[in-house]
Every structure is written in structure tokens, then in C-alpha cells.
Amino acid sequence: MIGRVVVLGEVRGREAAALVVDGRLEDLLVAPADDDGLAPGAILRGIVDRQMKGQGGVFVKLPEGARGFLRETGGLAPGQALIVQVSGRGEPGKALPVTARILFKSRLCIVTPATPGLNISRRIRDSDERARLETIAAEAMAGNDAGLILRSAAEGAEAQAVAGDIALMRSLADAVMADVAGGPELLVEAPGPHEQAWRDWAEPAPDEVAEGQGAFARHGVEELIDALLSPVVPLPGGGHMAIEPTRALVAVDVNTGADTSPAASLKANIAAARDLPRQLRLRGLGGQIIVDFAPMPKKDRAVMEQQLRAAFKGEAAETSLAGWTPLGNYELQRKRDRIALSQLLRD
């Protein structure tokens, strides 16, 4: 399967979307079995509950008795209603992370009520095109204090389509942000896998969009998913890395296989570093991650850190590369933005 292919189908009876580039699975979205509407991206009216001293935030009452945690305290008082958006996945038994910086996303634009200003995606480099889009954006947002980001998919789109998309998101944002009267309520549902794929995988434009019953099987996606359910990831040269989540952290162990030479170690470590972001993304893993690279001289650590920083650059999930531990492992923190794939397919 050559090219960029978006596959819209089902996995075990659940809506799912896969992005496959030249036969390699790059992203995967699967709807949870018991979706309560509180998935990342959902917009809700919440009620400020109480401040958490020492944690720099407040608890927020959400619909259906759920709790959110907002890392903001300025100007907030218990009992106050406010609009929040789910920003990540909560750990079992813990509050959902929410934010007051709401994003209203469509395929062509993002309206940002809390962040004024008009911005064009950096991926759009042509100066004439940027000027054209800036004019459209300024006219469409005239008289509104909200901010706007035009996404890369807007490049080359007809002016009427761009303006219409902006008007739709602007209208939705105005209505939702004004709806602060009442108790906890779900105001805008999180996008499902098919909607999110249409919205976020539009650029670069796919060479093919496959959909319908059996689409995953026809394009070999089911086999690619099966490989993700194994902890072992083969690496070039006979090495492998094992990715195993525990209750406290995700452990990653890199091995060279039969060849234990320094050259084989560096080769396996570099291959593992380059593929680690994709593997964590596809497996839905986050939190604290500890990587035990294959044995290598300390002088090679700088090279490995460069590889890791390059690999994680541009990842949608916020990732903090903490560095080397005293025992020679590498530690990083990745935001939990999805349910773990193994849990999704087990439920």
C-alpha cells in the first residue's frame, strides 16, 4: 500500500480510523466502548468546587458526577459556572484534566475565544496565499474579539469555503461561551474517530480515503493493529524493543539481539528512539516513561538525546524529555491523551 491512505471503518464493532503511510501505520483512533461524552475535546459547563492548595488548581464539578481538575485559580470562586474543555485522559479514580482555553476546531480553522489575534499556519509559506487568507480571516472575524488560526488545509481552498467554515466555528464559539447559566452540562461532544480523521488528517491530502464495511481488513489494518498488542517491536539488524506499561510507569527495554557490539547497540538505540513516539502514540501510552537503552558508552548519550528530541518534535501530545537517570536510563513524560489501545480492545 503506497502513499498516504486514510481508512475509516470499525475495530471489533467500534468506530475507528487509521492513517497508513506507505504501508506503515502512523495513527489510529478507536472509539471507547462506554463513551460517556467526556473524551478529550469535549466542551462542558462546569461548576468550580474547591481549590487544591499546593497543586495550583481547582476541582470542577462536571456532568454525571464526574470531576475535572483545572490548573488555574485566578478570579475563580466556589459555585462559579465556567466553560471548560477536556484536555486529556484521566487516570482511573482521578479527576479529568480540563482547561479554560477552549479550542473550537474545524477542518480549516480553529477559533480561540481566550486567545485573540489572527494567525496562519506556518506550513502555508506562499506570501500571496497568506495575504489572501489573512484578508478572508479579517473579514470573517470582524467585530469579534475571539482569536482565529487558519489551518494548513485552508491553503488553496475557495474563499467562500474558508469564510463559511470560519463563520460556522465563530457562531458555535459565541453560543457556547455565552451559555454559562445552569449546572454541569455537556455542551459540545468530543469528535468521534471518523470526524477527527476528516478534521486532522486533511494535510497532506491523502492519496486515498477507504471506507465502508471491511475497509480495515482490505487494507491490512487489522494485522497492523495485532502487532501493536505485542510488547515486542522488531528493530533493524535483529534487535528489538519491549514496551510494557505498569501501574506506575511505562518501561521500554532496547536489546540488540545476538550482536552485542558497540556498533549494534548504537544502531538499535537510534532505531528505537526514532520509532518510540509512533509506538507510544499508536498504543495510547503516556505518563512517566523509562527507557533502558542497550549498553553504550556515555559519550554516545548526546547523540541519543538529539535523536529523541528530533523524533518527538511535532508530536501532538505534550512531551517532556527529562534526561538521563543516575542509573543510565532515559526518563520522559508524555501527556495521556488517549485510552491505552490494549484497554480499548479488551473492554
DSSP labels, 251-316: EEEEE-TT--SHHHHHHHHHHHHHHHHHHHHHHT--EEEEEEPPP--GGGHHHHHHHHHHHHTT-S
* Closest listed residue to residue 140, CA positions, set 115, 178, 168: 168
Same domain? 56 vs 187 = yes
- Quote the cell numbers at residue 34: 462506554
Reading the block at residue 339, the C-alpha cell is 485510552
Residues in the chain: 347
CATH number of the domain bearing residue 126 = 2.40.50.140
- Give the residue numbers spanning the domain of 151: 43-191
Q: pTM to 2 decimals?
A: 0.89
Q: Are residues 128 and 172 in the same domain?
A: yes
What pLDDT is stored for residue 164 in this prediction? 98
Q: From CA 322, how far away is CA 87, in angstroms rounded?
A: 22
Is residue 46 within 8 A of residue 82, CB to CB? The reply is yes
* Total structural domains within the chain: 3
* Pair (142, 13) in one structural domain: no
Q: What are phi and psi of 313, to 5 degrees?
A: -65, 130
Grid cell digits, residue 236: 533493524
Long-range contacts from 224-231, C-beta under 8 angstroms, 24+ separation: 224/18, 224/20, 224/25, 225/11, 225/18, 225/25, 225/28, 225/341, 225/345, 228/25, 228/28, 228/279, 228/282, 228/283, 228/341, 229/341, 229/342, 229/345
- Based on the domain organization, do 72 and 172 belong to the same domain? yes
On whether both 124 and 179 belong to a single domain, the answer is yes
Answer yes or no: do 49 and 175 share one domain: yes
pLDDT at 285: 96
What pLDDT is attached to residue 54? 63
Render each residue's pLDDT in the chain as its tens digit; 347 residues: 689 999 999 998 899 999 999 999 999 999 987 766 788 999 999 999 987 766 678 999 999 899 999 988 788 889 999 999 999 887 777 899 999 999 999 999 999 999 999 999 999 999 999 999 999 999 999 999 999 999 999 999 999 999 999 999 999 999 999 999 999 999 999 999 999 999 999 888 899 999 988 999 999 999 999 999 999 999 998 999 999 999 899 999 999 988 888 899 999 999 999 999 999 999 999 999 999 999 999 999 999 999 999 999 989 889 999 999 999 999 999 998 889 999 888 86
CATH number at residue 337: 3.40.630
